[in-house]
Structure 1
Amino acid sequence: MTLPPGPTAPRIVQGLYAWTKPQRGMRRLRERYGDAFAINVPIFGRAVVISDPAQIKQVFTTGTDVLDNIDRDLGRVLGPGSMFALRGENHQKQRKLLVPPFHGRRLVAYEKIIEEETVRELASWPENQPFPVLPSMMRITLNAILRAVFGAEGAEFDELRELLPKLVALGSKLAVMPFPQGKWGPWRKFWAMRREYDAIIERLIAKADDLDGRDDVLAMMLQSRYDDGSPMSHSDVADQLLTLLAAGHETTATTLAWAVERLRRHPSVLNDLVAEVDAGEKALREATILEVQRIRPVIDLVGRQVKADSMRLGPWTLPKGYTIIVSIALIHVNPAVFPNPRTFDPNRFLDKKPDFYQWIPFGGGTRRCLGAAFANMEMNVVLRTMLRDFTVLPTAEPGERWHSRGVANAPEQGGLAIVRRRVTSSQSPVQTSTAGAQP
């Protein structure tokens, strides 16, 4: 076997380095060893980190008989029926059932829900004083995904609104801890919340009727059938719903917080976006969303595991059981892929669609996030509504640092903002202060 070079320190030392310096540490390792390097860390074990576009494409296009999902994944907290836990044929069968509600005409139907939730939440925003937008974005995305998934309001939805933020926050931390599952400590608290969640879902399933007249994801799941005619089990429905609620809630909200954080430090882009909203257009806004996800990816890696006896990856030969970590954070700042990668520049995506082997905030291949189109549509609607109704004031403050929330990376201060409600849609887009563009 031939492996790329890498640090030789013990696993615990490498793990502490990765834990304390997650962003800077990976960049330093690439500077020292190149676009591929070997590491040995808790959770992943012996692994190869890659950030070369050709090698990433090879990983995303390799069959599941050679490369498949890593063993210790988010399925630990989302359940064995989750898309994150399933592998091979089972994963493809489940994915086939879940793709329809997040594409095409159904997305258009969800736009109204998202705008309603955004207007409702933004009505509580304070004016002329700093506040973090992340909590608001969390509430918007949670309420929107709950309505899209369940299609109605009621007691169970109020319970889920109370339970899910705590469940997702704890699960996100447990997922990246190198400790085994158990019934002690934080795991005990997590499993208690998970049982509460399962009971709520069981009640919703029992109450479900008139499925033909409903357009929500739960109704679709209960009506769907595998090729052999069998339905999804209730436990699989619960696992998949939790996956959709978790993946479609925290990551989207965090990206929106990063968008506010970036735009406040780039007043010219902010000016252009507001003018575009007033003109009823969207090209720059869509490009801005892509650029925020490039320069501030909420998830910084995806993993695969070698299932065959060995795998040839570029010039390297990896043995069975090795993990391949595709570094989203590193490929997104690779100057050979994105010129001036540290510069926030939505124009790079104005007339060019992203290459899904280079721009990979949603992962790639057969395991690419199936809610990607929904997430981008949701961010588009939230930003459009915010810029239509509020003036967001620029700042000369340095950019917010990265803060790990477990799985997701958020702005350290929650995306601090100062806003003023717009009196009319034709007023001056942004009060241009002396603030310049900040890195």
Structure 2
Amino acid sequence: MTAAPAISLPPGSRLPRSVQGFLYLSGRRRMMRRSRRRFGPVFTLDLPVIGPSVFVGDPALARQVFTAGPSVAGKAEPNLGALLGPGSVFSLDDDPHRRRRRLLSPLFHGKRMRAYEALIEREYAAEAATWSENTEFPILPATVRITLNIILRAVFGAEGEELAALRRLMPALGDVGSRVATGRGIGFGRGRSARTRLDEHRAEYDALIAKLISRALADPCLPDREDILALLLRNHYEDAEPMSHSDIADELATLLTAGNETSANTLAWTLERLRRHPAALARLVTDLDAGRDEVLQRTIWEVQRVRPVIGTVSRQVKAQSLELGEWVIPRGHRVIVSMALIHGDEAVYPDPEVFEPDRFRGSRPDLMSWLPYGGGNRRCVGSDFADTEMKVVLRSLLRDFELLPTTAAGERMRDRGIAYMPGKGGRVALRRRQFSRASGTVR
């Protein structure tokens, strides 16, 4: 019998756990960058709530983590399941996780994405009609409304009292849930903990979803409906077993929170970056006016690289140990792959702090060194939906409006616990473009 390899952890801080936790929560990106400068691309931190954790800022080692398999490096605990529920794909692992992904993946690929484009354009147009011209304002509240309305309509396919309530509830649920998931909820809000508020919001959410499921099941048109709720109610696993209603509620919570926040913030970051890079903006508008999307796609990829909304993706060692390069990580340790460190690696992305969409000219990003949607078998199942949503909104906005450049310093990345948002909400100034009847173009 081969002896198990000796445990060997990467170097790391020797500060007390409480101090490390304080430094991490008060500035995750700052602490990770300082640790990388001191210890190299792999280092160990001991953090409250999540315990001893190995941080990975090397693409080759990230590949090892993502390809290790769930029996070796599976879902980390705690995770977003605290917010999304035990039936969410975030809470599942191994065979249950694979089964759920096989059930969900067809809902977000191929022709179905093209069917959503008209819906996305309508929601953008309704919000854009309220915007003032030549006056600077934060775009993030608008992109949150756009993306939330899009996902609500895609999920439920119609308006109604319950959808109006969900429109109000979901941002609050996401905010308090992020506090719970990151341990920031102690003493939050008028003497009540974030956990208490999360439980209250979740109970309200579950009651609303139960009403919507009952209404859908009583709808004689259910077999012909194409909204995601109807598809989930009709779909079955390979063994003909349907999803339980509680699992459907948890999965819809995943779509309504994770699917909203990441896209809304990436849209705001894209406009924030383009205002400060007028040459890149001009190339993009010229390409869009010619009916092409190549520069738009490269621009979105580069924004997701340089301003990743989600900063890390985690696994937990489930086997006796995980061999990671020269290191051997013991069972129970969390392994955290840092998007910020990998996206900022000069060996992977020359001049990594420079915003340069053309770095992706002629090639797609490598999915082990470009990680806005996570990696491996837990990569975001809705990434195609998010990509379609962002392309349609940006294409429509830059068709209708001129985005006015600015010389102001770039907005700082504000840490909301789960996601990073533009510190000032992605301030923009817009001027409506004029359509020229003579040339048939906008100007």
TM surpasses 0.5: yes
Aligned position for 2:416: 405
Residue 269 (structure 1) aligned with residue 280 (structure 2) = yes
* Equivalence for 1:236: 247
Q: Which moved more, 1:131-140 or 1:212-221?
A: 212-221
The answer to whether the aligner puts 1:206 opposite 2:214 as a matched pair is yes
* Number of equivalences: 428
2:201 maps to 1:193: yes
Q: TM-score, normalised by structure 2?
A: 0.94
Change (3 A) 1:389 1:44: same
Distance 2:123 2:335 in 1: 39
Q: What secondary structure does 1:326 align onto?
A: strand
Task: Label 1:205 to 1:400 Cα distance change in 2 as closer, same or farther (>3 A).
Answer: same
Which aligned pairs between 1:14-413 and structure 2 lie closer than 5 A?
Answer: 14-177=20-183, 185-208=193-216, 209=219, 210-413=221-424
Q: Which moved more, 1:345-354 or 1:184-193?
A: 184-193
Is 2:313–2:374's contact at 8 Å kept on the other side of the alignment?
Answer: yes
Q: Distance in 2 between matches of 1:180 and 1:65?
A: 33
Give the Cα separation in 1 of the matches to 2:125 and 2:210: 31
The aligned counterpart of 1:423 is 434
State the distance in 2 between where 1:102 and 1:227 align: 19
For 2:187 and 2:385, the matched residues in 1 are separated by 32
Q: Secondary structure at the match of 2:116?
A: helix
**Counterparts in 2 of 1:180 and 1:72: CA distance versus 1, 3 Å:** farther
Residue 29 of structure 1: CA displacement?
Answer: 0.8
Provide the C-alpha distance between the structure 1 equivalents of 2:288 and 2:21, rounded to a whole number of angstroms: 46
1:43 Cα deviation after fit: 2.8
Please give the alpha-carbon distance, in whole angstroms, between the structure 2 residues aligned to 1:139 and 1:72: 29
Secondary structure of 1:114 counterpart: helix
Q: CA deviation at 1:181?
A: 13
* Structure 1 residue 164, shift from structure 2 partner: 1.1
Query: C-alpha displacement at 1:375, in angstroms?
Result: 0.5
Distance of 2:89 and 2:13 partners within structure 1: 33
Corresponding position of 1:435: none
| Runs of 4+ displaced beyond 3 Å | 178-184, 425-428
**Residues 409/164 of structure 1: CA separation in 2 closer, same or farther (3 Å cut):** same
Secondary structure of residue in 2 paired with 1:249: helix
In the alignment, residue 236 of structure 2 is paired with which amino acid?
Answer: R
CA contact (8 A) 2:298 2:361 kept: yes
List runs of 5+ in structure 1 lacking aligned partners: 429-439
SS at match of 2:270: helix
Residue 255 of structure 1, CA deviation: 0.6
Cα distance in structure 1, aligned partners of 2:421 and 2:136: 17
Give distance in 1, aligned partners of 2:122 and 2:335. 42
Q: Distance in 2 between matches of 1:2 and 1:223?
A: 50
Amino acid at match of 1:294: R
**Residue type matched to 1:194 in 2?**
R
1:341-362 Cα distance to aligned partner (Å, 9 max, x none): 0100000112110000000110
Instruction: For 1:350 and 1:131, locate their aligned partners in 2 and report how far apart those are by CA, in whole Å.
Output: 32
CA 1:178–1:392 in 2, change beyond 3 Å: closer, same or farther?
closer
Deviation per CA, 1:319-371, whole angstroms, max 9, x where unpaired? 11011000011000000001110100000112110000000110011100001
Deviation of the 1:406 alpha carbon:
2.1
User: What is the one-letter code of the residue matched to 1:199?
Assistant: A
Please report how far the alpha carbon of residue 184 of structure 1 lies from its aligned counterpart in structure 2 after TM superposition.
Answer: 5.5
Displacement, 1:180?
9.1
Q: CA deviation at 1:21?
A: 2.3
Match of residue 433 from structure 1: none
Deviations 1:119-138 (A, max 9, x none): 11011111111100000000
Structure 1 residue 228, shift from structure 2 partner: 2.4
Residue 42 of structure 1 contacts residue 178 of structure 1 at CA under 8 Å; is this kept in 2?
no
Distance 1:155 1:412 in 2: 33
Q: Distance in 2 between matches of 1:76 and 1:181?
A: 18
Question: CA separation in 1, counterparts of 2:124 and 2:417?
Answer: 26
Per the TM alignment, residue 179 of structure 1 is displaced from its structure 2 partner at its CA by 6.5
- Structure 1 residues 127-150: Cα deviation after superposition (integer angstroms, max 9, x where no partner): 111100000000000000011111
**Residues in 2 aligned to 1:339 and 1:128: alpha-carbon distance in whole angstroms:** 36
Q: Which amino acid aligns with 2:30?
A: R
Q: Secondary structure at the match of 2:43?
A: strand
- The separation in 1 between residues aligned to 2:27 and 2:196, in whole angstroms, is 29
In structure 1, C-alpha distance between the alignment counterparts of 2:322 and 2:65, rounded to whole Å: 10
Alignment-mate amino acid for residue 188 of structure 1: T
Task: Report the alpha carbon displacement of residue 173 of structure 1 after superposing the two structures with TM.
Answer: 2.1
